[in-house]
Structure 1
Amino acid sequence: MVGLTQRKNHRRSVVGIATIVLLLIIWYLATTVTGWINPSRFPRPDEVLSAFTFIQTEGYGNGKLHQHVLHSLKLVAMGFAVAVGVGVPLGLLMGYSRRAEALINPAFLLLRPIPPLAWIPLAIVWLGLEDGSKILVIFVAAFVPSVINSYTGVRNIETPVMEAASMLGIKGWRMVTEVLLPGAMPMIFTGLRLSLQASWTTLVAAELIGALYGLGSILNQAAQDIFPAMILVAMAFVGICGASTTWLLGVLENHAMPWRKGRVAT
């Protein structure tokens, strides 16, 4: 079974690499060889490589590429960590306790439909244009999926399991660590993936306004300078950072749930 899973993962990786290579070839043919796409609309590969070299060596938008990447990673990590640290316990509590759900859910349902980007003006009023406002917006974006999926995970635990735990006198912290967390773990990690995706999407939008560093600030500056190649560099590194953090989350999921190892999509 392990060998079969490894072969499937290897085949999937090969197909993914082949797809990327094919897209690069089509890009090269459409922009450089045939000129079918106007470079002023979509840059050629050599222009993107030149922009990448420039931001690495000379810098662009108040910093070099690694400074922008590290700054964005820091903001995402802080906002995501706070959202998960608050959202997962809150979701578990609402899923386990009807009283807690009745108390908290009305306020949660009121805040849930508000788009995270709608919080940007209020975050700026509260915290200014510094990093705190961006972390707040990321927190709001990542908070909702973590709560919903943790709540759903607890509610999906089979009734006989909960009844058996009650009969055995399992309460308090033991109930959380021995029943709720293991039972809700698959849905919790689903929520973490959605929260991480929301964090990156919201970060870029938040950094478009008043940011001195970060991948979003590169996108904003490059748009003002009409620099499509630099825009593509920033977009590519948003994708790379998002994919890398998602992969790390998949590794953590495999360690937390070894019985599902190989089934986790990365």
Structure 2
Amino acid sequence: MNTLLVIDDDRLNCDLLQAVFSRQGYHVLAATSGREGLDLFRKLTPRVTLLDLRMPEMDGLTVLKEIRAIDPYAPVIILGGGATEAQENQARELMVTDFLRKGLSLDVLIGTVNRVAQQPTARAFTPSLPQAIAPASTEGETILVVDDEMMVRDLLVRFLNLRGYRAQGAKDGPEALRMIEQAPPDLVLLDVIMPGMNGVDVLRALREREYQGGIIILTGSQSEELLDKAWAMGPQEVLGKPIDLERLLTAIQLVLVCREC
């Protein structure tokens, strides 16, 4: 039995969709907030997710970004009542499976869900089988991990490569600048605390060279002065160590999507 996850802050809509699709043979679970929906998504790995666009606190696009950080290819259908063209385009950029305007007949919605559920699950996200996603790494965005801690650097590079990115590591600032000069990556993950040339110095050098890619700062430092200097250089995000990998993936996707926009 296929599992259908409905994420909609309107309880009446959830109950209606649960009743309709249960009669269609789906095992239906509903969440009335984005956070609750993400928790169910992680636990259930649903065959199809129906996602409301307009929700308080965490809207549909934010939920979709987080879903893509968990599973880049999960089938997600957005119900976009009152959506703007920009919102619809952003959903397309996040590889939404389909985007339906609210107010369509139930027959159209049922037909869409059935069609999506019957599609093969090719390119499904399977972290235990890296070979299943290895081909994507030849087409993914490039990321440079700059960290003097070899274990952290190597683990991040491996983690990102398994998720379809083309990641490389640099052990210090000078090596990173040489690599960026030769082949500018789409995104740099940059440790702040490094011997010799720290992350703020590297960031300053990148700004002087007019580097156009995204920059996410990684730091275990609690120094407000150092963090203020880092923020003043205009990174897209600053994440603390130890690194929350789920949050890191979300930040990477946000930076790359906004860069394309």
Q: Same fold (TM over 0.5)?
A: no
TM-score (norm 2): 0.23
TM-score calculated relative to the size of structure 1: 0.23
The structure richer in strand per residue is: 2
Q: Which has the higher helix share?
A: 1
The structure, 1 or 2, with the larger RCO (C-alpha pairs under 8 Å, 6+ apart) is 1
